[in-house]
Structure 1
Amino acid sequence: MSDRRSEESSGDEPSSSVSDEVWERFLRDTERDIRTSAPKEPSARARQVTERLKGQKGEPQGWRTGPAWQEMNGRAARRRRIWAVVGVPLAIAAAVVAMRPSLIPGDPFGSSGGTDTATTLLPDETTTPTAPPSAVAPDTPTPARPFAGSPALRWADGAAGIVLPKATALGAIPKDRVALALQQTRKLLVDANLNPDVVAGGRPVVALSVLDPRQPGVLDGLTTSLRSPSKTHDPLFLFSRFDPKDVRPAGKVVKVRGRITFAKGKFEGVAVHADYTFVYPVVRAGGSTEVTRTIVRRVIDVELPDPARYRVTPGRLTLLRYDEDAGNSSCGIKDGYLHPQFPSQARTGTPTGSATPSGPPVDPYDRSRDIGKEGACSTVSRI
């Protein structure tokens, strides 16, 4: 994996939107590789923006459909979970092997190997879960079976897990506009969390291209975070990234579970709420076969505002909320990358530069909980 940081871009803003033909080809290729083996209440800052807009009549002065980047950046929830020491004994029972045989060994994140096969996949998530996933038989993940012992074994593979609801008209908002908002949100999620180049530290060109360049500070803030990561400008706010000098994927499959809902927005447009969990199996760079997993949950709210009412770029999304939990990533390190801890590192203690975890263990697979309720650096109960 090569590190393609934002410095490689010739400008601070991304180029024009990637064509639908190119994007669809990317999705087809990605999904082909991996197959061969409600909206919540608006955030406080969104409500504040809405109140400011209530006094506006006709076309507002300037762009006012959403909060500026610095406002969001200063108040966005950033919660990291560092891995707790959890026993993961090796399962050797022949029955377990028969239930979940590995595919072709040695395929690097392979399209036909490098992952487990479950007897049945879970049905798509359509409502908020009421409990965490059930416990699974303990098992040690390997490069050939990177999801062994994980509830994510039965989750969908990659972009196939981001299923859009059927678009319907919202009063005067036509069905095709709803469909566009959903499709743009899916592009954002797929590129930001599943594009192998982006996960390896590359520039998320497609994800940036669906965001409105007229929203104050958003693209500038994201570009700064990609070029010079820091505590206040952290690309992990929105993008999943690993340092290829430290780790590499344990196969091609990233497990995905979540849902998207839509409703009429506060800015006379289509509001989309997305809540997804992504499970990344990795090994150390340099030939190690020890596998660990990082679990990232993202909750975002975006809107496709009415361009007849507000000064926006037609077809581009307004970013209103972004919350993120990262399970098994050392907190306190602000270099723009997720930093998984491996089981063999447990005896060496907290990695240099990371904060000491505190508080009760948290289940990173539990999608029934509201993220951010625990401390900023908790342990996780399983990986």
Structure 2
Amino acid sequence: MSEKGPSVSDEDWAAFVEAARKDGVGSGAVPEPRRRLRRPERSEPEGWRTGPAWREMDGRGKARRQVKGVVGITLAAGLLLVVLRPELVTDRLPQGLGGPGATTPLSAETARPSAPPSQEVLPDRPTLKEPFKGSPALRWADGAAGIEVPKAKAVGGMSREEVAGALDSVRRFLVAANLDPATLRGERPTDAIELLDPLQKDVRPRIDRWLTEPDKDNNPLWLFSRFDPAEVRLAGDVVKTRGRMTFEAGERSGEVRVHADYTFVYPLVKTRPGFDEVARTVVRRQMTFALHDPAKVVTTRGMLSVLRMEESAGNSDCARAADGFLHPQFSEDLAGAAPHPGGPEIDPYDRSKDIGDLSHTCGTVTRT
């Protein structure tokens, strides 16, 4: 499918913003990156910048690009696709997976780790019976149990009950977008979409385009974890999850912002009869959502706006055309293939850095 360009260039956008400043449009709000034109009594909800300029997915841009202006916020979506080189997996393994307490669940993540999980030398390959062998995720929580909600309190002019509702909605979105079996096998993630505010500019039409006409500029993987059911299926019924959720007052009264940083580990097997090799794809997402007070912001009560979305995927074929699916690679896919030319080595289990601080070139995962 042909590539689609932005509906407005960055140069035209900058000219428009400068003209608005000179004309006094939205006076006092123009310098803010997450404001729209003022309205009497209530301001507009925050919207998505049109075109692919607000995200980088082809490995040639910076990690994040922010556009300031009258009309909206910036959504940053970084897509990091890395391929698996078998020799790097076979000589590295997380420590502690074979000794006493190897399967003792980890306590919940309460702060950003200072380093990636440690590794040891001897490999321990996954099997259909034990799809998380050889992975730090062996001790992670199963599925939705790994998405824990912090205790709510009143912030940003929002009540404790409203904050609790925002946290619960974010949790439900993450489950529907990354763990729901129908979403994983490529079906429409209706439950996730219905949690997003239809008054946030162009959100639902844009998602519809991502799902029905996916390409490098319209990719549902920026929000949803999806696999081609004709190619692969989950090995078992467990996805491992680890991360944390925080919240804070927004930039204006009547706004609470919820930050989510989670990694999902998917064990997969080809759908071909008799195939029994397990490969894992590791997806990390950093997202920020907002819940607004309808008395102060033009919004739908109780529904979420997306302010930030960044994604990284370990073991998804970089060479494949963007078709809206993650494509894990198995040993037979790499047999006889030329070594990947350059690119950084990435540990997909390293949660100590922001996704935006990572290289967005196609590289090599050190383990899955």
TM-score bin (small chain)? 0.7 to 0.9
Structure 2 residue aligned with 1:276, among 259, 262, 283?
A: 262
**In the alignment, which residue of structure 1 is the partner of 2:222?**
237
**In the alignment, which residue of structure 2 is the partner of 1:120?**
104
Q: Secondary structure at the match of 1:77?
A: strand
Q: Do residues 345 (structure 1) and 333 (structure 2) align?
A: yes
Counterpart CA distance in 2 for 1:241 and 1:194 is 10
User: 1:346 Cα deviation (Å)?
Assistant: 2.4
Counterpart CA distance in 1 for 2:282 and 2:135 is 11
**In the alignment, which residue of structure 2 is the partner of 1:163?**
148
Counterpart CA distance in 2 for 1:120 and 1:130 is 21
Counterpart CA distance in 1 for 2:202 and 2:341 is 33
CA RMSD of aligned residues (A): 2.7
Q: Do residues 131 (structure 1) and 112 (structure 2) align?
A: no
Higher helix share: 1
Can you list the C-alpha shifts for 1:69-92, whole angstroms capped at 9, x where unaligned? 5464575222211212335559xx
Name the amino acid aligned to 2:296: R
User: 1:52 Cα deviation (Å)?
Assistant: 6.3
Q: Do residues 200 (structure 1) and 201 (structure 2) align?
A: no
Query: May I ask how many residue pairs the two structures share in their alignment?
Result: 312
Report which stretch shifted further, 130-139 or 49-58: 49-58
Counterpart CA distance in 2 for 1:350 and 1:276 is 33
User: 1:357 Cα deviation (Å)?
Assistant: 5.7
Can you list the C-alpha shifts for 1:295-344, whole angstroms capped at 9, x where unaligned? 00000011001211111111110111100000000124301000001123
Can you list the C-alpha shifts for 1:10-40, whole angstroms capped at 9, x where unaligned? xxxxxxxxxxxxxxxxxxxxxxxxxxxxxxx
Counterpart CA distance in 2 for 1:317 and 1:305 is 8
| 1:80-159 equivalences in 2 (<5 Å) | 80-86=81-87, 118-136=102-120, 137-159=122-144
| 1:51-70 equivalences in 2 (<5 Å) | 51=33, 53=35, 56=38, 58-60=40-42, 63-68=44-49, 70=51
Change (3 A) 1:223 1:267: farther
User: 1:140 Cα deviation (Å)?
Assistant: 1.1
**In the alignment, which residue of structure 1 is the partner of 2:318?**
331
Unaligned runs of 5+ in 1: 1-46, 101-117
8 Å CA contact 1:49, 1:66 repeated in 2: no
Counterpart CA distance in 1 for 2:328 and 2:97 is 27
8 Å CA contact 2:156, 2:250 repeated in 1: no
Change (3 A) 1:143 1:52: closer
Q: Do residues 79 (structure 1) and 80 (structure 2) align?
A: yes
Change (3 A) 1:54 1:87: closer
8 Å CA contact 2:222, 2:310 repeated in 1: yes
Counterpart CA distance in 2 for 1:49 and 1:66 is 16
**In the alignment, which residue of structure 1 is the partner of 2:232?**
247
8 Å CA contact 2:89, 2:366 repeated in 1: no
Counterpart CA distance in 1 for 2:156 and 2:338 is 54
Name the amino acid aligned to 1:307: P
Name the amino acid aligned to 2:326: L
Counterpart CA distance in 1 for 2:285 and 2:45 is 25
Counterpart CA distance in 1 for 2:338 and 2:190 is 34
Counterpart CA distance in 2 for 1:52 and 1:286 is 48
What TM-score results when the alignment is normalised by the length of structure 1?
A: 0.75
User: 1:349 Cα deviation (Å)?
Assistant: 1.9
Counterpart CA distance in 1 for 2:201 and 2:231 is 35
Report which stretch shifted further, 73-82 or 331-340: 73-82
**In the alignment, which residue of structure 2 is the partner of 1:107?**
none
Counterpart CA distance in 2 for 1:155 and 1:233 is 32
Counterpart CA distance in 1 for 2:312 and 2:184 is 16
User: 1:347 Cα deviation (Å)?
Assistant: 2.2
Counterpart CA distance in 1 for 2:216 and 2:41 is 36
User: 1:265 Cα deviation (Å)?
Assistant: 1.1
8 Å CA contact 2:343, 2:361 repeated in 1: no
Q: Secondary structure at the match of 2:138?
A: helix
Name the amino acid aligned to 1:277: T
8 Å CA contact 1:258, 1:276 repeated in 2: yes
